[in-house]
Amino acid sequence: SQKIEQNSEALNIQEGKTATLTCNYTNYSPAYLQWYRQDPGRGPVFLLLIRENEKEKRKERLKVTFDTTLKQSLFHITASQPADSATYLCASGRGGATNKLIFGTGTLLAVQP
Amino acid sequence: DVKVTQSSRYLVKRTGEKVFLECVQDMDHENMFWYRQDPGLGLRLIYFSYDVKMKEKGDIPEGYSVSREKKERFSLILESASTNQTSMYLCATGDSPTDTQYFGPGTRLTVL
């Protein structure tokens, strides 16, 4: 079955460093991947979308890559700040005519001051 | 900005009660979704709707039903609440063609 996998272990980094989160997909080829941020007790918030024909996308301190050979997306936050601490979810379309997304379980990022 | 609101942030109900969770959006999106989120399990799709009065089962529809009488409103119904339905419930709308989803703040439901 179609699957999105994210590292379930928390990522702890020092303020100012670059955080890199990984998203792997199996058993299908998504047309795009999306990244969301979720704070405790809140709904996810959309951050970025990258299509399969795009290698890289940037938005301020955020960068996303899409490697169709490795079946992987990397999500980078440069010059990380404690305010970036949150859970980051990766998602992709399920394909076909459906508008549904498959979500990964998310990776918790903790940026230490 | 897309606004998605949910009727309650916190709700406590007793086993066997009928529970209504309401979601309202103001962006005229066709698609609306109900998820539940549990630690370690991520977001699991319960039901979704792609038009008024249209609905489709998600991955875990058992014990739930939905209603979409108006485009802006999508309700989740727990016919007879059980303790294993204690969870965070999230409503979302979907924006075609990218399928980007916009989430409400969530309802933390506790069934005693």
Question: Do A75 and A88 form a contact (C-beta atoms < 8 A)?
Answer: yes
Whether A15 shows a pLDDT value over 80: the answer reads yes
A87 DSSP β-pair partners: A38, A108
pLDDT digits (tens, 9 = 90+) for A55-89: 899 999 999 999 999 999 999 999 999 999 999 99
* Residue B44, helix vs strand vs coil: strand
How far is A38 from B42, CA to CA, in rounded Å? 11
A100:B48 CB<8 A: yes
Q: What is the pLDDT of residue A98?
A: 65
A43:B92 CB<8 A: yes
How far is A14 from B83, CA to CA, in rounded Å? 40
Q: Report which of B99, B109, B49 is spatially closest to residue B74, judged by C-alpha positions.
A: B49
Q: How many CB pairs under 8 A join A and B?
A: 53
Chain-centre distance for alpha carbon A92: 10
The arithmetic mean of pLDDT across residues A46-60, rounded, is 93
